[in-house]
Amino acid sequence: MFQSKAIFKIKGVVQHYAWGGNNFIPQFIHFDNSENKPCAEYWLGAHPSAPAQITTLPTPFLLNEFIQQNPIEVLGESVYNTFKELPYLFKILDVKDMLSIQVHPSKTEAEKGFEAEETAGIAINAINRNYKDKNHKPEVMIALSDFWLLHGFKSANNIETTLQDVPELNLLLPLFKKDGYKNVYEFIMQMPQEQVDVILLPLVKRALREKRDNALNRQMPGWWVSKLFENGFDEKNIDRGIFSLYLFNIVHLEKGEAVFQGAGVPHAYLEGQNIELMANSDNVLRGGLTPKHIDVTELMKHTLFEPVEPKVVRTKQIGNEKIYPCPVADFGISVIELNAGEHYSALTTSLEILLIAEGALIVKEHENMVFKKGEAIAVIAQQEYQLVASGKTTIYKAFVPAMH
């Protein structure tokens, strides 16, 4: 079976979260969105909550079930022995409205948190559940467009300047100078809602006024405050996540640039489209800009309270493949760019998923299968394959790095 059928076409799952756009993902994957639903994410993986489907077997098969039936052959022996599953989840995101401020736990802390919530009898789908699995969730994202995100705390000097320059936040300056990052963040996250409203209402009104006067741009926190509230808001329940917009780095990535986010780094996607690859987990601790569950105690326990200098991932070029190095064993990602008639050959060490982002290609020696933009390929471990581009073609490849 595996010799003759080692390469499959797979179809992912569209996630209709409210913050997603209506057009980008449907156009990318040729998905009929006549109902005009928000299409936030497209999952290509084996996560049990939304596994991809193999569409080129005689009977359609869910990828997670296919892996469970043939784990060593599909994943590769070393990947199976280490992870017991496909250790990554591959996604496309279309961020129209900003996501919640969030932190991901380390693997050790995820295991402890999961066991504690299991022992406490909190249902896995309960709204107050923090840990959906025992895994960490490091992630790398590659911009498909201009992309904006929050990533880690600003330097102490930058925070002091911000707290000095923004009148409504002046009261936080002495506390930050005296007690630093953690105490300030704990103070604003535990502040009574009435006090949050008193501080933030004039700030929000000023941001809306400045945006109307074209006095703001996307490098400024006020621009994002205005975007969040320009369609109206509840003056008695202002989201305390607004504080984080002034304390965190606002990062702009151009198409093709990537950033890695490890355990403990607070972050939030603000706007744009990207490719995202992460450990196979759904563990998120939230800190605002969301109606979802916020557990301040748990959030504080796992947040990295130190300045972070955002770093664009330095790529390595090998032939027509550009590799984005990631400091984890769970996943690796690269982009392959081919012109008409050019070939790309590889030998897999794990299950690989390839997503065609532009153009079209033929997979040689496997019935000359043809794939076009928006389609995805799964190749099982220990397989040689060769791709030939029919025109200018861009492919994103997710894999597990070879283990030594």
SS3 119: helix
Nearest to 176 by CA among 167, 188, 168: 188
- pLDDT tens across 151-184, in order? 999 999 999 999 999 999 999 999 999 999 999 9
SS3 92: strand
Nearest to 184 by CA among 76, 363, 74, 305: 305
At residue 369 the predicted structure's pLDDT band, cuts being 50, 70 and 90, is: confident
At residue 2 the predicted structure's pLDDT band, cuts being 50, 70 and 90, is: very low
At residue 1 the predicted structure's pLDDT band, cuts being 50, 70 and 90, is: very low
At residue 404 the predicted structure's pLDDT band, cuts being 50, 70 and 90, is: low
Q: What pLDDT is recorded for position 310?
A: 95
- pLDDT tens across 27-75, in order? 999 999 999 999 999 999 999 889 999 998 888 899 999 999 999 999 9
* Whole-angstrom distance, CA of residue 249 vs CA of residue 268: 10
| % of residues, the chain, pLDDT over 90 | 83
* Whole-angstrom distance, CA of residue 185 vs CA of residue 183: 5
CA angle 290, 307, 282 (to 5 degrees): 40
At residue 365 the predicted structure's pLDDT band, cuts being 50, 70 and 90, is: low
* Residue-by-residue DSSP string for 160-210: HHHHHHSGGGGGGHHHHHHHHHHHHHHHHHHS-HHHHHHHHHHHHHHHHHH
CA angle 28, 30, 36 (to 5 degrees): 90
SS3 277: strand
| % of residues, the chain, pLDDT over 70 | 98
- pLDDT tens across 114-140, in order? 999 999 999 988 888 988 888 888 999
Of 129, 212, 286, 314, the catalytic one is 286
* Whole-angstrom distance, CA of residue 150 vs CA of residue 75: 34
CA distances, 244 to each of 171, 172, 186, 240, 294 (Å): 15, 13, 12, 8, 14
Indicate the pTM of the whole model.
0.93
Asked if residue 4 has pLDDT above 60, the reply is no
Task: Give yes or no: 286 in active site.
Answer: yes
Q: Which residues touch 192 (CB under 8 Å, ≥6 apart)?
A: none
Name all domains of the chain by residue range, CATH numbers in brackets.
Answer: 7-150+252-288 (2.60.120.10), 154-247 (no CATH), 316-399 (2.60.120.10)
Question: In the structure encoding, which two tokens stand for residue 200, read together?
Answer: 């933030």
CA angle 263, 318, 79 (to 5 degrees): 45
DSSP state of 350: S
Average pLDDT of the chain is 94
CA distances, 161 to each of 151, 168, 244, 246 (Å): 18, 13, 15, 10
* Whole-angstrom distance, CA of residue 334 vs CA of residue 159: 35
- pLDDT tens across 285-335, in order? 888 888 888 888 888 999 999 999 999 999 999 999 999 999 999 999 999
> Pairing between strand 316-318 and 61-62?
unpaired
- pLDDT-wise least confident of 17-31, 337-351, 359-373: 359-373
